[in-house]
């Protein structure tokens, strides 16, 4: 793809936009960066581009800015109905996502992982399996550094976590192995309906061909029906025994294929929960599709400590165990986390509503949750849906939520932060929220 002297606009000067602008400038493109925020708010990003021939259009979103451009690259946080993207479509200006642009300059085989929940754990596991197998591998995308930042390295493989936002503008993005773990309600504050969100996820398979591998969760009907439209070889994961695919058996994860059967013990794994069995099956399927040795797969399963803020054990105090699941930013994630405990649980939830149906949690709430502590912007909305199912209290802050939970917890209880909401009402991101929770727990 020739970029020299092309007139390209990068929309959004967050982490991905910054890396994209740097890459394009180094390639000799005529780069203009647009952001609805002003120069004062973007001072750090502008400093990051100091010395590069980059122009700026800040403080608005004027469709006239699109005139004369060859290409627009939106950051993942920029929705398709943004005035600049709408104007680009009307003028016939090409729009490509950052992962699409990056993939055209990366020769190494890619593993791409998406799903509403579990993709960070699965992506990290696959990366560690490849590294333990002796491959020079990078891990990035939605989980860390943008894919564009790995373009100029010499790699033997890459593992990239991709969100629905990043998949909206892909055309030729073709991972050697693509994994779709699950699709449940999320980001309905961005998409017109659930089906639009599901279609965005399905684009991970769009450019794959017969020489590629698609890993699908056969237990998720919305995912499994996609196999009819996929040209890649399909490998399934799920919890029921099948003649071909992956499933948990008495001796661990079983992988059956036309070449035979193999098993991976879970006796020594450090992560727990039904959702993590799903994640591990996805990782095993992807790693073996790329030829990673069985020993490297097993050793990684046993050594992996889990991710911070994802059902992370914080500590035990007075016989009460505290878990930080701040990364559980949607209803489906909270449901999977609750399914990992027998109860009794004191659940701390709340934040910014993302349009999901909290009623999905009703069964787990009735069976396991002795007290529901709600905080944040969505607390009244969640209370209206679930508050009648168990003892429920609304508080003004996470600090109050932790104190309330500790005051009502008994030995043998679990206190679980699994918000089912995004964090942006009170925190910059889920990581800041999770750290605050851990600090509060340790300070009890």
321-363: pLDDT as tens digits: 999 999 999 998 899 899 889 889 999 999 999 888 999 999 9
Instruction: Report the catalytic residues.
Output: 119, 142, 187
pLDDT value at residue 146: 95
How do strand 137-141 and strand 54-58 relate by DSSP bridges?
A: unpaired
Q: Is a pLDDT exceeding 80 seen at residue 303?
A: yes
Q: Is a pLDDT exceeding 80 seen at residue 24?
A: yes
Q: Under DSSP, is residue 278 helix (H, G, I), strand (E, B) or coil? A: helix
pLDDT value at residue 293: 98
231-257: pLDDT as tens digits: 999 999 999 999 999 999 999 999 999
Q: Are 287 and 130 in contact (CB under 8 A)?
A: yes
CA-wise closest residue to 342 among 316, 324, 372, 369: 369
Please classify residue 393 by burial: count the beta carbons closer than 10 Å to its beta carbon, then call 0-12 exposed, 13-18 middle and 19+ buried: middle
pLDDT value at residue 165: 93
Quote the CA–CA distance of 431 and 310 in Å, as a whole number: 10
**Residue 110 banded pLDDT, cuts 50, 70, 90:** very high
pLDDT value at residue 46: 95
What do you get for the CA distance between the two ends of the chain, in Å?
Answer: 57
Quote the CA–CA distance of 145 and 139 in Å, as a whole number: 8
């Amino acid at each position: 793809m020739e970029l020299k002297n092309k007139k390209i606009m990068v929309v959004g000067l967050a982490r991905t936009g910054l890396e994209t602008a740097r890459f394009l400038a180094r390639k000799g493109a005529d780069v203009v960066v647009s952001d609805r925020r002003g120069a004062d708010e973007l001072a750090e990003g502008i400093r990051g581009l100091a010395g590069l021939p980059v122009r700026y259009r800040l403080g608005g979103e004027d469709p006239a800015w699109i005139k004369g451009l060859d290409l627009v690259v939106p950051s993942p946080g920029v929705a398709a109905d943004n005035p600049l993207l709408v104007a680009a479509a009307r003028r016939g200006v090409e729009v490509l996502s950052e992962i699409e642009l990056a993939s055209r300059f990366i020769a190494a085989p890619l593993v791409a992982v998406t799903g509403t929940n579990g993709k960070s754990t699965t992506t990290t596991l696959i990366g560690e399996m490849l590294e333990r197998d002796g491959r020079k591998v990078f891990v990035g995308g939605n989980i860390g550094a943008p894919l564009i930042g790995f373009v100029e390295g010499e790699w033997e493989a890459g593992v990239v976590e991709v969100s629905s936002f990043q998949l909206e503008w892909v055309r030729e993005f073709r991972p050697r192995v693509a994994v779709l773990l699950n699709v449940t309600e999320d980001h309905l504050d961005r998409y017109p309906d659930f089906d639009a969100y599901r279609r965005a996820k399905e684009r991970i398979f769009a450019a794959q061909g017969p020489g590629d591998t698609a890993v699908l969760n056969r237990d998720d009907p919305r995912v499994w029906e996609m196999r009819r439209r996929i040209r890649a070889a399909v490998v399934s994961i799920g919890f029921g025994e099948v003649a071909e695919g992956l499933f948990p058996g008495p001796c661990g994860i079983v992988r059956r294929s036309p070449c035979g059967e193999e098993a991976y013990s879970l006796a020594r794994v450090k992560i727990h929960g039904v959702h993590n069995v799903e994640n591990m099956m996805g990782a095993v399927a992807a790693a073996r599709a790329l030829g990673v040795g069985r020993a490297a797969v097993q050793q990684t399963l046993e050594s992996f400590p889990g991710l911070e803020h994802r059902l992370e054990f914080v500590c035990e105090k007075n016989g009460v165990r505290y878990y930080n699941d701040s990364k559980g930013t949607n209803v489906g994630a909270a449901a999977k986390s609750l399914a990992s405990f027998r109860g009794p649980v004191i659940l701390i939830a709340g934040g910014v509503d993302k349009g999901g149906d909290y009623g999905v949690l009703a069964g787990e709430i009735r069976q396991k949750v002795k007290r529901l502590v709600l905080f944040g912007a969505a607390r009244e909305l969640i209370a209206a849906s679930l508050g009648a199912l168990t003892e429920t209290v609304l508080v003004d802050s996470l600090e109050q939520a932790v104190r309330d939970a500790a005051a009502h917890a008994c030995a043998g209880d679990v206190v679980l932060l699994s918000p089912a909401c995004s964090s942006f009402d009170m925190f910059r991101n889920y990581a800041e929220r999770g750290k605050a929770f851990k600090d509060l727990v340790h300070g009890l």
